[in-house]
């Protein structure tokens, strides 16, 4: 197919080995900026765009550093995917720590909710010859999208399957997860039930997220000059 060079690297590997569509087991990490509507209410669109550019660069670079890839940049969030639950959870920890340390560098802190799921998905190409992308389709992707609203800003929510895999592969990553609900009925999924576990925001993340919800609480609330927008990494 024309344009295959633009496919994400994980998809390229499966395309070479298996062809598309193909069924694979992947972990998905949804990352969603909390309070993005408030940012637009308090800052000009150019300033918000510069903040989102910096956020998305962070997310993309972390995904690649942990052997994952970016499926979509969707408005104020992103969908990342990985070949193991441990890689996805490691990436979530790194993103959370970076945001808590002040990814915008000045007075406009950014905060995110994250959800991690794992399961069998079908990878296939959607679109036309001129415009196309690889889409992962499966229940775990839908569950991940819907779990985002079940965690406070600054937190990470995961299914029991993720926590089990992480505790088996990298036990230190699983220590901070606490059980939320052993049989949570996931909204809008026709009755899918999943155990949900979470890493709640700590005091630092809670402070950052409180500032993100109230941009005027710290000085001018200017995140980054519009002239400092970040160009995509070549």
Exposed, middle or buried, 195 (CB in 10 Å: 0-12/13-18/19+)?
Answer: middle
Task: Provide the 8-state DSSP code for 76.
Answer: T
Residue with tokens 């993309």: 60
CA–CA gap between residue 117 and residue 48 (Å, rounded): 29
Residue with tokens 């949570």: 184
Residue 140 located in a structural domain: yes
Residue 175 located in a structural domain: yes
Residue 134 located in a structural domain: yes
Between CA 139 and CA 54, with CA 29 as vertex, the angle to 5 degrees is 145
Q: What is the pTM of this model?
A: 0.83
pLDDT of residue 223: 36
**Range(s) of the domain holding residue 153:** 4-216
Residue 229 located in a structural domain: no
Per-residue pLDDT of the chain (234 residues; tens, 9 = 90+): 444 444 456 766 776 776 678 899 999 999 998 877 777 778 788 888 888 888 899 999 999 999 999 988 877 889 999 999 999 999 999 999 998 887 654 446 688 999 999 999 998 888 888 887 788 899 999 999 999 999 999 999 999 999 999 999 999 999 999 999 999 999 999 999 999 999 998 755 555 566 555 544 443 333 333 333 334 334
Residue 205 located in a structural domain: yes
Residue 232 located in a structural domain: no
pLDDT of residue 41: 79
Structural domains of the chain, count = 1
CATH number at residue 8: 3.30.70.1230
Residue 127 located in a structural domain: yes
Residue 222 located in a structural domain: no
């Amino acid at each position: 197919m024309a344009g295959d060079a633009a496919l994400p690297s994980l998809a390229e590997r499966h395309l070479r080995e298996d062809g598309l569509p193909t069924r694979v087991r992947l972990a998905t990490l949804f990352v969603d900026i909390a309070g993005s509507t408030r940012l637009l209410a308090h800052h000009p669109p150019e300033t918000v765009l510069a903040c989102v550019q910096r956020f998305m660069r962070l997310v993309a670079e972390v995904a690649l550093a942990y052997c994952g890839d970016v499926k979509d940049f969707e408005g104020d969030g992103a969908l990342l995917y990985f070949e193991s639950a441990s890689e996805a959870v490691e990436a979530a920890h790194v993103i959370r720590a970076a945001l808590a340390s002040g990814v915008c560098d000045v007075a406009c802190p950014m905060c995110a909710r994250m959800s991690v799921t794992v399961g069998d998905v079908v990878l296939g190409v959607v679109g036309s010859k001129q415009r196309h992308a690889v889409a992962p389709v499966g229940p775990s992707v839908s569950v991940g999208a819907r779990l985002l609203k079940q965690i406070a800003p600054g937190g990470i929510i995961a299914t029991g399957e993720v926590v089990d895999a992480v505790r088996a592969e990298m036990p230190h990553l699983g220590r901070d997860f606490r059980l939320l609900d052993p049989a949570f009925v996931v909204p809008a999924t026709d009755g899918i039930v999943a155990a949900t576990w979470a890493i709640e925001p700590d005091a630092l993340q809670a402070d950052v997220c409180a500032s993100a919800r109230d941009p005027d609480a710290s000085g001018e609330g200017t995140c980054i000059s519009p002239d400092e927008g970040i160009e995509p990494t070549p």
